[in-house]
């Protein structure tokens, strides 16, 4: 079997065009422009790339982008003061603090200082609780993008066996909640799971979110399964730096029914969902 490639880039372009259409109508009919504030502390090169890309996409969708780049030595008090100002600013509908933060800052404290209604990452403890109890919340962008691709490919996910490899607060745990919400039978596997290969081979839907290059080989994939690869890992290969996922793509594509590539799979959907969440936050704020 050769897997169908799930084209996240094309799907994300459709979502972004839809968001841009809504934004244009909001502006024309109500004079409202959604605004997203992105806060970056320090100079982590990967985070700088992500933040630049988020800002560019925000502007391309017709929204206002407010970038706040703070020195790596910024104090917690100064960062919390900025978040307080953004919470109170009616032109800012979404706030994103890029993670990871420098070690001297308490990420939980910082994230929980964001107004939950403006928490477009869905990381605030209120949004985590709302998602876990099936209530209206802000949903984390990467798992939301994965869910949209899965629904688009399968229609209903009800009754499917889903295995999420990785238990992070950003991807693994919210992904599991979303799949449970769509009536999958969900297993969360992680580095201490016994016989991980055997667990993965049970999956109709296999989501890999561990951040370890190509750690899931093709023979861990059930024939015909749908594989969603969240990993974005930079490695040296043949004297060049290349991007690879958490799944051995070549091996898995021979067995899976469908698979997301890296790059061009989950990554573009994450940004599209960030724009969608910002639009949602703006619409909720304006009734």
Alpha-carbon distance of 16 to 158, in angstroms, equals 27
Q: Please state the closest distance from residue 161 (CB atom) to ligand GUN, in A.
A: 26
Tokens of 249: 């793509």
Q: Which is nearer to ligand GUN, 58 or 200 (CB)?
A: 58
Query: Does position 57 bind ligand GUN by CB under 6 A?
Result: no
Q: Please state the closest distance from residue 189 (CB atom) to ligand GUN, in A.
A: 20
Q: Which residues are annotated as a binding site?
A: 166-168, 232
CB 84 within 8 A of CB 113: yes
Residues contacting 171, CB < 8 A, separation 6+ = 140, 142, 143, 209, 230
- Select from 40, 51, 86, 96 the one that contacts ligand GUN (CB under 6 A): 96
Query: Does position 101 bind ligand GUN by CB under 6 A?
Result: no
Find the catalytic residue in 118, 119, 121, 173: 121
Task: Judge whether 135 counts as a catalytic residue.
Answer: no
Looking only at the bridges linking them, the beta strands covering 240-244 and 233-237 are: antiparallel
CA 274 to chain centre: 8
255-284 residues in contact with ligand GUN (CB under 6 A) are none
Query: Does position 98 bind ligand GUN by CB under 6 A?
Result: yes
Question: Tokens 């979110």 — which residue?
Answer: 209
Task: Judge whether 204 counts as a catalytic residue.
Answer: no
Query: Does position 37 bind ligand GUN by CB under 6 A?
Result: no
Query: Does position 99 bind ligand GUN by CB under 6 A?
Result: yes
Task: Judge whether 27 counts as a catalytic residue.
Answer: no
Q: Please state the closest distance from residue 31 (CB atom) to ligand GUN, in A.
A: 29
- Select from 147, 157, 170, 259 the one that contacts ligand GUN (CB under 6 A): 170
Q: Please state the closest distance from residue 252 (CB atom) to ligand GUN, in A.
A: 23
Query: Does position 180 bind ligand GUN by CB under 6 A?
Result: no
123-152 residues in contact with ligand GUN (CB under 6 A) are 141-142
| 101 φ/ψ sector (left φ>0, alpha ψ -120 to 50, else beta) | beta
Q: Binding residues for ligand GUN, how many (CB under 6 A)?
A: 8
Find the catalytic residue in 98, 204, 246, 248: 98
Among the listed ranges 79-87, 91-99, 233-241, 247-255, the one in contact with ligand GUN (CB under 6 A) is 91-99
By beta carbon distance, the residue nearest ligand GUN is 99
Catalytic residues: 54, 98, 121
Contact residues for ligand GUN, defined by CB under 6 A = 96-99, 121, 141-142, 170
């Amino acid at each position: 079997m050769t897997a169908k490639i799930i084209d996240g880039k094309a799907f994300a372009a459709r979502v972004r065009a839809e968001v841009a259409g809504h934004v244009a109508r909001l502006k024309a009919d109500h004079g409202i422009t959604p605004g997203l504030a992105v806060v970056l502390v320090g100079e982590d090169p990967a985070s700088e790339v992500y933040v630049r890309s988020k800002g560019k996409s925000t502007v391309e969708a017709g929204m206002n982008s407010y970038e706040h780049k703070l020195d790596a030595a910024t104090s917690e008090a100064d960062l919390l003061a900025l978040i307080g100002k953004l919470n109170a600013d009616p032109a800012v509908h979404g706030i994103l603090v890029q993670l990871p933060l420098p070690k001297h800052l308490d990420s939980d404290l910082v994230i929980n200082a964001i107004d939950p209604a403006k928490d477009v990452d869905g990381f605030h403890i209120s949004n985590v609780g709302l998602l876990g109890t099936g209530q209206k919340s802000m949903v984390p962008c990467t798992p939301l993008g994965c869910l949209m691709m899965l629904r688009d490919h399968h229609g209903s996910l009800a009754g499917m066996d889903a295995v999420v490899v990785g238990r992070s607060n950003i991807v693994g745990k919210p992904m599991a909640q979303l799949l449970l919400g769509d009536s999958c039978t969900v297993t969360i596997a992680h580095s201490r799971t016994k016989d991980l290969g055997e667990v993965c081979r049970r999956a109709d839907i296999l989501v890999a979110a561990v951040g370890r290059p190509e750690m899931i080989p093709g023979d861990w994939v059930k024939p015909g399964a749908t594989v969603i690869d969240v990993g974005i890992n930079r490695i040296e290969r043949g004297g060049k730096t290349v991007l690879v996922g958490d799944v051995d793509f070549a091996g898995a594509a021979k067995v899976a029914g469908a698979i997301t590539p890296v790059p061009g799979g989950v990554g573009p959907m994450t940004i599209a969902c960030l724009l969608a969440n910002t639009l949602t936050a703006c619409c909720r704020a304006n009734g």
